[in-house]
């Protein structure tokens, strides 16, 4: 069974892969999402919606700061930490 961190990582990699038409295995987890990973603002919103849908969560406005979404690793850690606290 997939744990929370693996699930978040899979979702993020799938969205980036589909937006960039690239093999998800080639995506660097420490790449900056909006710069190096090549996501634009619309793709970023798609990522947020996919995470909310797949994980059955809703991001608070206070949570939507760039530091929480800089890299795949940042996303995995911040979402996992937030969900584990609930």
Give the separation between CA 86 and CA 84, rounded to whole angstroms: 5
The confidence score (pLDDT) of residue 53 equals: 92
pLDDT for res 25:
61
Per-residue pLDDT of the chain (86 residues; tens, 9 = 90+): 578 888 888 888 888 888 766 665 666 667 677 666 667 888 888 888 988 998 888 888 888 888 888 888 898 888 888 777 76
Tell the burial category of 45 from Cβ atoms under 10 Å away from its Cβ (0-12, 13-18, 19+).
Answer: exposed
Class of the 4-85 domain? mainly alpha
């Amino acid at each position: 069974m997939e744990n929370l961190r693996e699930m978040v990582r899979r979702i993020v990699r799938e969205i980036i892969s589909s937006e960039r038409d690239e093999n998800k295995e080639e995506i660097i987890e420490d790449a900056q999402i909006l710069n190096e990973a090549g996501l634009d603002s619309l793709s970023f919103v798609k990522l947020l919606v996919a995470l909310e849908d797949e994980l059955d969560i809703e991001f608070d406005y206070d949570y939507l700061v760039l530091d929480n979404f800089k890299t795949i690793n940042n996303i995995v850690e911040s979402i996992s930490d937030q969900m584990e606290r609930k």
